[in-house]
Amino acid sequence: MSPSEDTIAAIASGVAPGAIGIVRVSGPSATQVCRGITGIQSPLPRRAERAVFLGPDGQPIDDGLVIFFPGPHSFTGEDVLELQGHGGPAVLQLVLSAVIALSAEGRPIRLARPGEFSERAFHAGKLDLLQAQGIADLIAAGSAQAARAAVRSLRGGFSEAVSRLQDLLTDLRVRVEACLDFPEEDIDFISRERVSERLLALRGQFEVVFAAAQRGAALAQGITIGIVGAPNVGKSSLLNALAQEELAIVTPVAGTTRDRIAAQVMIDGIPLSLVDTAGIRDATDAVEQMGIDRSWKTLAEADLVVWVVDATGAHMMEGHHLKSLSQHFQDRFAQTGVATPLLMLVNQMDRFEGATPALEERSDWERLVMPETVRQDLIPISAKTGQGLDLLRMRLKQHAGWTDEAGDTAYSARGRQMDALVRAQGCLRDAAVWLDQGALELLAEQLRLCQLALSELTGELHSDDLLGAIFSRFCIGK
């Protein structure tokens, strides 16, 4: 049954008890529900009217307010009715049951699916997929910055940025396609139409939007932080200190941690996933070696790498492992085109009052392991006393997208949006390669694929299965 043929209803105010609760109704039977529940024959548009809510037996259920939003000037584009009463779960269920009981042959009224109100708003052209996702992100926001980023997307900021990219892409594609129509003049045409400059400008604008979406995704979903280093440098102690819980066993015995230990922590409402790993060294024990192999896997998966070194200099990573670490960062940059964020922590600073061996020797191992593809920072800490941990927490928040103005410079984004942006980014990168090689057909194809990827963001290009998967993750009543 299509969205316009049936009427849906749901509790829109959540399951927890509260002073006020809302039952929302959307569809062609909204006015029929109003008459059946309240006795009001012609509700005034967008006016709050006091009414007694009646059950199927005509007995009062609650005393509250009725607000009617006639379509198409409503959230869903259909007639929408809100019954606002007391927020007790039992009362709201009685009101909802009374609404469903008004279902009749040819005018069905049913419970709404998760996200179905927002889905109907999308089909009615009231919002696009980015704005719809902004609703879900606003509800789930765990910090003020994440909430502001969600509002920015909900109000169309993300959509407008994508639309501007689409306009630039369309203009560029028109010029490239025109060039393909006159192959004998392709070189002069490319120069005259400034294709290279336009592509460079497009990539620059894209990176701005991509970075804003990355910040928003990190604010909403957090980041995965891999804690790596040699044995006995204090990785497990650091995990316990940040989690404020004894999650990892800490002993003076090298190789105590043999597998990855993950902890979910919240810092000012920002979710972070911390992963402690086995110390990287030449191991003879087969089980420990398996843990070390998983340490390297964590390096490949982490959004941020925290490398812990010992301030005493007593526990240093072997030179060939440092080289492997350096090569890993370079390989990851070659694959993704993105530098690996790295925080370097000098632990056990409680043992020193002045300079430490590790800090004095920093230039030696820094030159060895720090390629230009790594953005780095160094923080002296003590996991034992807490020295430097407040600064570390601030740095972790910043890597997760937090700033004082983060909500005003970020777009709320989730995995689906980031996947589409990453694919679009790859297409633009390949387009630049083909342009340099003069392969205009391949350049045109990459620009087309980039535009398709961007179209997925707003819902210009979608499938019914994709829409169902997206809106099923919303709250019932939204």
Q: Quick check: 379 and 344 in contact, CB under 8 A?
A: yes
Over residues 448-464, mean pLDDT: 80
Over range 396-425, report the average pLDDT: 80
Residue 372 has pLDDT above 60, yes or no: no
pLDDT reading at 449 higher than 90: yes
Q: In this predicted structure, what is the pLDDT of residue 475?
A: 61
Residue 188: the pLDDT is: 62
Q: Is residue 322 within 8 Å of residue 369, measured between CB atoms? A: yes
Winning range, highest mean pLDDT, from 77-81, 102-106, 266-270: 77-81
CA-based diameter of the chain, in Å?
Answer: 84
| Residue 441, helix vs strand vs coil | helix
Report the pLDDT value the prediction gives residue 466, as an integer from 0 to 100. Answer: 46
pLDDT on residue 99:
94
Q: pLDDT at residue 347 above 60?
A: yes
d(CA 435, CA 441): 9
Q: Which residues contact 257 (CB under 8 A, 6 or more apart)?
A: 235, 236, 248, 249, 276, 277, 278, 279, 291
Count Cβ atoms within 10 A of the Cβ of residue 9 and give its class: 0-12 exposed, 13-18 middle, 19 or more buried: buried
- Which residue type does 166 have? Q
25-72 pLDDT per residue, tens: 999 999 999 999 999 988 999 999 999 999 998 899 999 999 999 999
Supply the pLDDT for residue 400.
Answer: 77
**What percentage of the chain exceeds 90 in pLDDT?**
28
Give 112's DSSP letter. P
Q: Which domains does the chain have, with CATH numbers?
A: 7-126 (3.30.1360.120), 157-217+411-458 (1.20.120.430), 224-399 (3.40.50.300)
Q: Which of 308-312, 394-398, 404-408 has the largest mean confidence?
A: 394-398
pLDDT score of 471: 58
Structure tokens at 22: 């809302």
pLDDT value for 249 = 52
Beta carbons within 10 angstroms of residue 456's beta carbon: 20
Of residues 409, 210, 374, the one with CA closest to residue 304: 374
Q: Tell if the pTM clears 0.75, that is, is over it.
A: no
Percent of the chain with pLDDT over 70: 77
Question: Within 13 A of 334's CA, how many CA atoms are on the CB side?
Answer: 7
Distance CA 262, CA 245 (A): 12
Least confident of 107-121, 189-203, 239-253, 440-454: 239-253
Give 39 or 236, the one with higher predicted confidence: 39
DSSP annotation string for 12-62: -S-SS-EEEEEEEEESTTHHHHHHHHH--SSPPBT--EEEEEE-TTS-EEE
**Average pLDDT of the segment spanning 249-275:** 67
* Cα angle value 11/15/21 (rounded, 5°): 50
Residue 24 token pair: 């929302």
Confidence check: pLDDT of 139 > 70? yes
**pLDDT class for 364, splitting at 50, 70, 90?**
very low
Look at residue 381 and tell me whether its pLDDT is greater than 80. yes
| Better pLDDT: 229 or 165 | 165
Please count the other Cβ atoms lying within 10 Å of the Cβ belonging to residue 209.
19
Burial class (CB in 10 A: 0-12, 13-18, 19+), 122: buried
The better pLDDT of the pair 144, 163 is held by 163
pLDDT at 355: 55
- Average pLDDT, whole number, for the chain? 80
Q: Is the pLDDT of residue 388 over 50?
A: yes
DSSP 3-state of 170: helix
Q: Is the pLDDT reported for residue 126 higher than 70? A: yes
Q: Mean per-residue pLDDT for 99-119?
A: 89
Which whole-number Å values give the CA distances from 114 to 8, 172, 344, 470, 474, in the listed order?
11, 40, 44, 10, 5
Residue 361 confidence (pLDDT) above 60? no
Enumerate the β-bridge partners of residue 81: 25, 68
Mean per-residue pLDDT, 140-158: 82
User: How many residues does the structure list for the chain?
Assistant: 478
Using CA atoms, how far residue 378 sits from 240, 300, 309, 333, 359, in Å, is 20, 21, 10, 21, 10
- d(C-alpha 252, C-alpha 409), whole Å: 45
pLDDT the model gives residue 454:
92
